[in-house]
Chain A
Amino acid sequence: GAGVSQSPSNKVTEKGKDVELRCDPISGHTALYWYRQRLGQGLEFLIYFQGNSAPDKSGLPSDRFSAERTGESVSTLTIQRTQQEDSAVYLCASSLVSDTQYFGPGTRLTVL
């Protein structure tokens, strides 16, 4: 498809387990962003990748959160030892440099 895709769409996990969330950006988009959206709230920035530059990790809430991106393609957000407060929708966006960010549909994470 032409848009940003994310998988899985829903993930239910038990407290303490690790989870991996995937983002496939729009082809050719050099920038990729991860945001977190708690129920009924705005989006919180987590991490930003731009080409081969060092990622901007300033939004990651703890060292349990990490993300990788392979070149200018797929990105994976990993949350280790999940906690109930990690429950949220995790949104990925991609863009050309300094251009409009296009968002995926998100992954709804529920930690029991």
Chain B
Amino acid sequence: TQLLEQSPQFLSIQEGENLTVYCNSSSVFSSLQWYRQEPGEGPVLLVTVVTGGEVKKLKRLTFQFGDARKDSSLHITAAQPGDTGLYLCAGLLYTGRRALTFGSGTRLQVQP
């Protein structure tokens, strides 16, 4: 059983469309992060959210942390081919363990 469920697993859209990726759990996280990973590379951090209800914007990307700190979403406005990649959510549990718990990822392809 995956502790962090991501949906959808795959998404293929046209340039200019909007999309939302979801990350859900029954566990509470002290913080949650979103990463983007390209083939042959390690994940690169996009954002960290730490407060329930927090919304962060990074250009065309909007990240939200749920009020109960169990879920998060990533919304991309006017997607571009350069947004193509694997998007991963990852959280830190309140157990004190410093290692991240990762979701299974959402593979996004933006067609020109």
Chain A interface residues (CB < 8 Å from chain B): 4, 31, 33, 35, 40-45, 48, 50, 56, 58-59, 91, 93, 97-98, 100-106
Contacts and interface: CB of A to CB of B under 8 A. Distances in A.
Can you list the 9 inter-chain pairs with the closest CB atoms, starting with the nearest? Answer: A103-B42, A42-B102, A45-B99, A43-B102, A42-B104, A48-B99, A42-B105, A42-B103, A103-B43
Given A45-B102, A56-B98, 13 more contacts: A41-B104, A42-B4, A42-B6, A42-B103, A42-B104, A43-B43, A43-B90, A43-B102, A48-B98, A93-B42, A104-B42, A105-B42, A106-B41
B97 interface: yes
- Name the residue in A42, A56, A97, A106 with the highest tally of chain B Cβ atoms < 10 Å from its Cβ: A42
Contacts of A44: 102
B88 interface: yes
24 contacts: A4-B42, A33-B100, A35-B102, A40-B107, A41-B104, A41-B105, A42-B2, A42-B102, A42-B103, A42-B104, A43-B43, A43-B88, A43-B90, A45-B100, A45-B102, A48-B97, A48-B99, A56-B98, A58-B97, A93-B42, A98-B98, A101-B100, A103-B43, A105-B42
B49 to A, nearest CB: 13
A91 B42 contact: yes
Interface residues of B, number: 22
Interface of B: 2, 4, 6, 40-45, 48, 88, 90, 97-105, 107
Contacts of B107: 40
B90 to A, nearest CB: 7
B102 to A, nearest CB: 4
Nearest to A47: B99
A45 B101 contact: yes
